[in-house]
Amino acid sequence: MQLIAEDLIIDRGGRLVIDGLSFAVPRGETLVLSGANGAGKTTLLRTIAGYLRLAGGTIRLEGGDRELTIAEQAHVVGHTNAVKPSLTVYENAAFWSAYLNAQTAHRSRVETALRHFGLDELAEFPAAYLSAGQRRRLGLARLLVAERPLWLLDEPTVSLDVASSERLVAAINDHTRAGGLAIVATHLPLALERARTLELVSRRIAA
């Protein structure tokens, strides 16, 4: 399986953001997107997920399910945590498990996800009272409650301390070791295995 992007042209609000970009992310690899603010990292991720329309070019997931969109085969984590404050930590994770697994919550996956991100002891705690870092970890826990071959992560370390960032890196590395793909936009150096960097520089791509 691999994600292939060819000759991408992305226009946002009448401004040409990306012009003629091509790249591939093979099975078991992480592509790290770097570049200054406004270079197009978020726009590229949102376009891959299908939230924005291409002005030109193609994106395909070779080896994926042809009956599903790329978004339906991906975990997409943006700047917001998608945490419901009225639910407990466990209930939030269980909601995502049911939503991503055809309305069936997988208790073992939920428990594993909360344990990995250090939230198991807060399982019955109302999400409204979590710290910013705890809310971010809860938002990231949905990566582990359902299998998706492609992870699209936009600045996933926001609000995380060093230890929590290491938990995230471990999850990404476990995912790629198992043959998954990941595309991560970040300003911070992360100890990611099998990773390449693609630098976006105001409509130019520098390898």
97's enclosing H/E stretch is helix 89-100
Strand, helix or coil at 153?
strand
| Fold observed for domain 2-206 | Rossmann fold (3.40.50)
- d(Cα 94, Cα 18) in Å, to the nearest integer? 38
Are residues 136 and 82 in contact, defined by beta-carbon separation less than 8 angstroms? no
Overall pTM surpassing 0.75 (yes/no):
yes
Buried b (16+ CB within 10 A) or exposed e, 133-170: bbbbbbbbbbbbbbebbbbbbbbbbbbbeeebbebbbe
Are residues 39 and 200 in contact, defined by beta-carbon separation less than 8 angstroms? yes
Residue 54 corresponds to which tokens in the numbers above?
């291409």
Per-residue confidence of the chain (207 residues) as pLDDT tens digits? 999 999 999 988 878 899 999 999 999 999 999 988 888 899 999 999 999 999 999 999 999 888 999 999 999 999 889 999 999 999 999 999 998 886 665 889 999 999 999 999 999 999 999 999 999 999 999 999 999 999 999 999 999 999 999 999 999 999 999 999 999 999 888 999 999 999 997 654 443
CA 107 to chain centre: 22
